Amino acid sequence: MAAHSPKIILGSKSAARQAILKEMGFEYTIITADIDEKAIRRDKPEDLVMALAEAKAEAILSKLATLDVINCKTDSEPTLLITADQVVVHEGLVREKPCCEEEARHFIKGYSMAAASTVGSVLVINLTTGKKSGGWDTAEIYFHQIPDEVIDSLINEGSVLYVAGGLMVEHPLISPLIDAIVGTLDSVMGLPKDLTNSLIKEVLQD
């Protein structure tokens, strides 16, 4: 991490996003938004994930103001808030987190039949200056046949219920079944590194 790296608040409880941000060399504090994501709807997946990242940021800013956790204006180094969201698009349909085991099973079974696309947003706000920038990235994932016993194991374990589309490409049961990824693995996992770095640089510019 650079000597003058900004302070970062990551507005996500996603273990994958936390790991990616750490891989990028950043230290961070986690504050979650805890919003009702289903209450925010948009027709296009790109618009939906951007709207959700904005809503998460607004909720976290409200928390910061209420709790007076951080005094961004007087800190010597800038403080950045990063929020993100992701959906999976499969056969033209947007898939968010599965509502139940049955839906998760339906989602995962379908990936054997047609490629899945991830659409992920990142929003970065410089809390010291108020400058913000956001964008989205996509990737496509092609799978070999996913056996029913693998799906059963994933459902029983439960983690797939908490990720968009029930899609966990990093899972040791799933990763050997990936035929190809068009795009980057970090984008599929929910925090595209190149986009995030670009947005961070943009909000730090004078």
DSSP H or E stretch at residue 79: strand 79-90
CB under 8 Å to 23, separation ≥6 — which residues? 186, 193
3-state secondary structure 171-184: CCCCHHHEEEEECC
Q: How far is the first Cα of the chain from the last one, in angstroms, to the nearest whole number? A: 21
Positive/negative CA dihedral, 179, 104, 51, 55 = negative
3-class DSSP assignment, residue 125: strand
> What type of residue sits at position 130?
G
Annotation marks residue 34 as catalytic? no
Helices (H) and strands (E) in the chain, counts: 6, 7
> What type of residue sits at position 67?
L
Catalytic residue among 43, 75, 85, 206: 85
Categorise residue 52: left if φ over 0, alpha if ψ from -120 to 50, beta otherwise.
Answer: alpha
Pairwise CA distance, residues 48 & 44, whole Å: 6
Positive/negative CA dihedral, 22, 25, 28, 34 = negative
Catalytic residues: 85
